[in-house]
Amino acid sequence: MLKVKMMSKKTLKMPCLFIGLMCFYTLILSAADSINWQDYQAGIIRNKTAEKIMIVDVFTVWCGWCKRMDATTYSDESVIRLINKYFIPVKLNGESNQLIQLQGKEYEVPVLLSGLGIRGFPSTVFIDDKQKVLSVVPGYIQTEDMKKILVFLGEKYYLKKNYQDFLESYKQPN
C-alpha cells in the first residue's frame, strides 16, 4: 500500500511565501528598468493629485533625434530611476490634433506647442503640480545633462536657486 504523507499548513506556507517574495522582487526590478510613459490626458489627471512634476517628451514619429533620445537618454539607468522617483512621465506627439488641457484651458497640440515656443523636436516640457510650465528644453538632451535637469527639478532645487548656481554645486547621483 502506498503511503502519502500530507504536508502541514506551516510547511506549505514557506514555499508560497518564498515564491511570492520572488515575484514581488521581480516586479520591482522590472518596473525600475523602464519608464512608464503615459499619454498627456492620464498625466494631467495624475499631476493634479500626485504633487509631482510632469515631464512631457514632445516627439514626432519621423524624428530621428526623438528616437535617439529614447534609445540613449531615456534608456539610461540613472535617468530612469530619477524620472520614476520624481516625475510623471508623459509622451506627447507634437503633430497630434487632439485637444489637451493646461491651466484649465483646452488647446490643440500645435497651438499649445507654438505658445510654449516649441519649434522643433524633440522638446521636453516640465510642468509642476499647479500646471505651471517650469521649463521648456528644446532639442536632444544628452544623458549627463538630463540627469542634472532631473535632479535640479525633482529635488526642488529650483525653489531655492537658479540653474547656474545649482550646476556649480552639483554632485553626480549614484
Total domains, the chain = 1
Q: Is residue 13 part of a domain?
A: no
Q: Is residue 28 part of a domain?
A: no
Separation between Cα atoms, residue 29 and residue 119, nearest integer Å: 37
Which pLDDT score, from 0 to 100, does residue 13 have? 55
Separation between Cα atoms, residue 4 and residue 86, nearest integer Å: 55
Confidence grade of residue 170 (pLDDT, cut at 50, 70, 90): confident
Q: Is residue 149 part of a domain?
A: yes
Please check whether residue 121 is in contact with residue 59, taking contact to mean a CB–CB distance below 8 angstroms.
yes
With cell 535640479, the residue in question is 152
Q: Is residue 7 part of a domain?
A: no
Please check whether residue 167 is in contact with residue 173, taking contact to mean a CB–CB distance below 8 angstroms.
no
Separation between Cα atoms, residue 144 and residue 132, nearest integer Å: 25
Q: Is residue 26 part of a domain?
A: no
Residue range of the domain that includes 162 = 35-169
Q: Is residue 14 part of a domain?
A: no
Q: Is residue 88 part of a domain?
A: yes
**CATH assignment at residue 79:** 3.40.30.10
Q: Each residue of 83-137: pLDDT tens digit?
A: 999 999 999 999 999 999 998 899 999 999 999 999 999 999 999 999 999 999 9
Q: Each residue of 25-68: pLDDT tens digit?
A: 444 444 458 999 999 999 999 988 888 999 999 999 999 999 99
Q: pTM value?
A: 0.80
